[in-house]
C-alpha cells in the first residue's frame, strides 16, 4: 500500500494469493491427532471445525457432513458395470446387486512432528507450506482417473455358479482363498475386482475426518464381534427331528434372536446344521434353555456344539445409506458406514493389491486390476517405503507411504483397545496376503484398521470372506 492508501499491483496480487490459499484450505475438511497423546479423539481442522457427526442405532445418525462431497456416498444398484437405480428411486432394490457410489476425492495425510493430519476435499486444495493435495489412489485405477468407484454395500455372496454378488439377505461367501475371491469378483466383468487396499484406505480416511477419532468401534459401533464361539457350548439333551438345541443357561444367554448359528461335532464344524437363524431363546428347565432355529429339522446328540457363524447381509438395511449400528446389544449387531455394511466384524475380508514378504509391503501404485496377483513382489508391484512392524500389537502410528500414497497400515504398534488407533495388527514372516476387519468373536481388537498380515493368500476357513469393488 502506498502513502496515499492505494494497493499496489504487486501487493494486490499477493493479497489475492493469500485469500485464495485461505479459501482453498476451507474447501477441505480435516482432523489432526496429537502424536504424543494416546487418546483416540482428534481435533477438527480446516472446514471441519465446529462440525459434528453422531452414529445412529437402528436408524441413520446425524452428520454435518451430509451433502458435502466427498462424503456424498450413495447407495445404488449396478448391472453390467453401470448404475441402474439409486436408493430412493423407482426400481431400486437391495435384492439386486447393491453398491455404494463414492465420488472422486482429493486428500492429504501428513505428520508434522506434532500431529498426524488428515484432510479431504472434492477438489484440489493446498495447505502451505505443504505440496498440493492429490487425487486419492483409489480414483486412479488402471493408470487413469476415475470419477467414481463402487465398493459393495454388502460382503460378497456367491451366485452358486461362478461369480460374486452384493445382495441383502444373502450369506457372505466364505471358506475361500484370496485367489478364489479375486476370480469370482472378476467374472462380473473387466470393471469388477476384489476390494483392494486403496478403497479401504480411502474409507478409513473419510471415517477419521467425519468422526474426528481413530476409535470407530466407539464412534459407530463395536460391530458383530462379541458373539459366542466356544468348544463348551454343547447340547445337554438328545432329540430327533427338531429345530432346536438345548444348552446351559449361561451359554444360551450369550446368543441373540436373529443371529445365525451352526451346529456340529465341534466349534467351526457345521455338519449337523449350517447357518441357521435363531428364532427364539426360551427356558427349558432351571439350568438350561432352548435355542430354536429355522430350516429343516435335524437330529441333536448330547455333546453337539453350537456356535455363532457368519451372519446374513442386510442387518443394517433400516439405516438406509446412513451410518450407525443395527438395534440390539452393541457388539452383537452389524455396523454400517454411509451405506457400507460390516466394514469390521462378522467375518474377515480379503484385500487385494497388497502382498507382504517378510513384513515388506508391495502394491501396484497404478491400480492395474488385470495385474493383481498373489505372487508379485517387485515386478508390477512396488515396494512400500518402509517395512511393517515385526511384532503383533495394537496400531499406534500409521505408515504414511510416499510410494503408494497409503496411510492405513501400521508403522508402529504397542497401543491398546482404547488408545491410539484401537485396532490390532497381526503379522508373520514369509509371503503373506492381507485381510482386514476381524471376525465375530474377536471383540475389541476388531475395527477398520485391524490388519491380519499373517496368512498366505491360499488360506481358507469359515471366517474368511470378501467384498466387491467396481470402477
Contact 445, 470 (CB under 8 A): no
- Supply the pLDDT for residue 13: 61
Query: If you average pLDDT over residues 445-467, what whole number do you get?
Result: 97
Return d(Cα 53, Cα 224) in angstroms, integer.
22
What is the percent of the chain where pLDDT is above 90?
93
Q: Cell match 438345541: residue?
A: 245
Which element (helix H / strand E) includes 22?
helix 9-25
Question: 383: closest CA among 396, 365, 400?
Answer: 365
- Supply the pLDDT for residue 279: 98
Confidence of residue 131 (pLDDT cuts 50, 70, 90): confident
Confidence of residue 6 (pLDDT cuts 50, 70, 90): very low
| Residue 147: burial class (beta carbons within 10 Å; 0-12, 13-18, 19+) | exposed
Model confidence at 10: pLDDT above 70: no
Beta bridge partners of 426: 452
Confidence of residue 25 (pLDDT cuts 50, 70, 90): low
pLDDT tens readout for residues 161-201: 999 999 999 999 999 999 999 999 999 999 999 999 999 99
- Supply the pLDDT for residue 130: 80
Confidence of residue 129 (pLDDT cuts 50, 70, 90): confident
Contact 409, 206 (CB under 8 A): no
Model confidence at 12: pLDDT above 60: no
Model confidence at 23: pLDDT above 90: no
Q: What is the DSSP string of 47-81?
A: TTTT--EE-EESS--EETTTT-TTS--EEEEEETT
Model confidence at 4: pLDDT above 50: no
Q: Cell match 494497493: residue?
A: 7
Under the phi-then-psi rule, with left for phi > 0, alpha for psi from -120 to 50, and beta for the rest, what region is 249? Answer: alpha
Q: What is the DSSP string of 116-157?
A: EEEEEESS----TTSPPPEE-GGG-GGGS--SEEEEBSS--E
Return d(Cα 462, Cα 440) in angstroms, integer.
11
Query: If you average pLDDT over residues 220-235, what whole number do you get?
Result: 98
Return d(Cα 232, Cα 306) in angstroms, integer.
9
Q: Cell match 472446514: residue?
A: 47
The pTM (predicted TM-score) of the whole model is: 0.94
Confidence of residue 8 (pLDDT cuts 50, 70, 90): very low
Return d(Cα 346, Cα 239) in angstroms, integer.
30
Query: If you average pLDDT over residues 257-286, what whole number do you get?
Result: 98
Return d(Cα 296, Cα 294) in angstroms, integer.
7
Model confidence at 402: pLDDT above 50: yes
Confidence of residue 2 (pLDDT cuts 50, 70, 90): very low
Residue 231: how many other CB atoms lie within 10 Å:
10
Query: If you average pLDDT over residues 271-295, what whole number do you get?
Result: 98
| Residue 448: burial class (beta carbons within 10 Å; 0-12, 13-18, 19+) | buried
Classify residue 225 by its DSSP letter: -
Confidence of residue 1 (pLDDT cuts 50, 70, 90): very low
Question: 200: closest CA among 445, 448, 413, 30?
Answer: 448
What is the percent of the chain where pLDDT is above 70?
94
Contact 134, 42 (CB under 8 A): no
Kindly report the average pLDDT of the chain as a whole number. 95
Taking the CA atoms of residue 295, residue 297, residue 303 and residue 305 in that order, the dihedral angle to the nearest 10 degrees is: -10
Classify residue 180 by its DSSP letter: H
Amino acid at each position: 500500500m502506498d502513502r496515499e492508501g492505494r494497493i499496489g499491483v504487486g501487493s494486490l496480487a499477493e493479497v489475492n494469493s493469500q485469500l485464495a490459499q485461505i479459501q482453498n484450505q476451507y474447501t477441505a475438511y480435516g482432523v489432526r491427532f496429537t502424536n504424543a497423546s494416546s487418546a483416540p479423539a482428534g481435533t477438527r481442522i480446516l472446514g471441519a471445525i465446529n462440525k459434528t457427526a453422531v452414529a445412529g442405532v437402528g436408524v441413520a445418525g446425524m452428520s454435518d457432513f451430509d451433502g458435502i462431497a466427498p462424503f456424498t456416498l450413495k447407495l445404488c444398484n449396478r448391472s453390467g458395470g453401470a448404475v441402474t437405480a439409486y436408493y430412493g428411486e423407482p426400481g431400486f432394490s437391495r435384492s439386486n446387486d447393491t453398491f455404494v457410489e463414492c465420488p472422486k476425492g482429493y486428500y492429504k495425510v501428513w505428520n508434522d512432528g506434532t500431529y498426524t493430519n488428515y484432510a479431504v476435499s472434492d477438489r484440489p486444495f493446498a495447505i502451505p507450506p505443504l505440496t498440493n493435495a492429490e487425487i486419492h489412489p483409489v480414483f486412479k485405477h488402471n493408470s487413469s482417473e476415475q470419477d467414481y468407484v463402487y465398493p459393495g454395500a454388502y460382503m460378497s455372496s456367491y451366485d452358486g455358479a461362478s461369480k460374486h454378488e452384493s445382495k441383502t439377505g444373502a450369506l457372505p461367501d466364505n471358506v475361500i482363498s484370496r485367489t478364489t475371491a479375486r476370480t469370482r469378483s472378476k467374472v462380473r466383468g473387466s470393471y469388477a475386482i476384489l476390494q483392494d487396499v486403496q478403497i479401504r484406505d480411502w474409507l478409513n480416511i473419510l471415517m477419521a475426518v467425519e468422526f474426528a477419532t481413530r476409535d470407530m468401534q466407539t464412534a459407530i459401533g463395536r460391530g458383530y464381534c462379541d458373539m459366542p464361539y466356544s468348544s463348551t457350548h454343547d447340547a445337554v439333551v438328545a432329540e430327533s427331528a427338531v429345530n432346536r438345541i438345548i444348552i446351559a443357561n449361561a451359554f444360551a444367554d450369550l446368543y441373540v434372536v436373529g443371529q445365525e448359528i451352526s451346529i456340529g461335532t465341534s466349534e467351526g464344524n457345521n455338519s449337523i446344521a449350517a447357518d441357521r437363524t435363531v428364532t427364539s431363546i426360551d427356558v427349558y428347565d432351571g439350568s438350561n434353555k432352548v435355542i430354536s432355529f429355522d430350516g429343516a429339522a435335524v437330529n441333536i446328540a448330547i455333546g453337539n456344539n453350537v456356535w455363532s457363524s457368519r451372519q446374513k447381509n442386510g442387518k443394517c438395511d433400516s439405516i438406509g445409506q446412513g451410518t450407525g449400528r443395527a438395534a440390539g446389544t452393541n457388539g452383537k449387531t452389524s455396523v454400517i458406514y454411509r451405506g457400507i455394511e460390516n466394514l469390521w466384524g462378522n467375518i474377515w475380508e480379503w484385500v487385494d493389491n497388497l502382498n507382504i514378504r517378510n513384513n515388506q509391503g508391495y502394491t501396484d501404485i497404478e491400480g492395474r486390476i488385470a495385474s493383481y496377483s498373489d505372487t508379485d513382489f517387485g515386478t508390477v508391484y512396488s515396494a512400500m517405503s518402509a517395512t511393517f512392524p515385526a511384532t503383533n500389537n495394537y496400531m499406534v502410528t500409521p505408515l504414511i507411504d510416499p510410494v503408494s500414497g497409503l496411510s492405513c497400515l501400521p508403522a508402529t504398534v504397542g497401543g491398546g483397545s482404547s488408545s491410539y488407533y484401537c485396532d490390532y495388527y497381526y503379522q508373520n514372516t514369509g509371503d503373506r496376503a492381507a485381510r482386514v476387519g476381524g471376525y465375530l468373536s474377536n471383540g475389541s481388537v476388531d475395527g477398520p484398521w485391524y490388519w491380519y498380515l499373517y496368512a498366505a493368500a491360499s488360506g481358507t476357513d469359515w471366517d474368511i470372506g470378501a467384498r466387491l469393488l467396481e470402477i
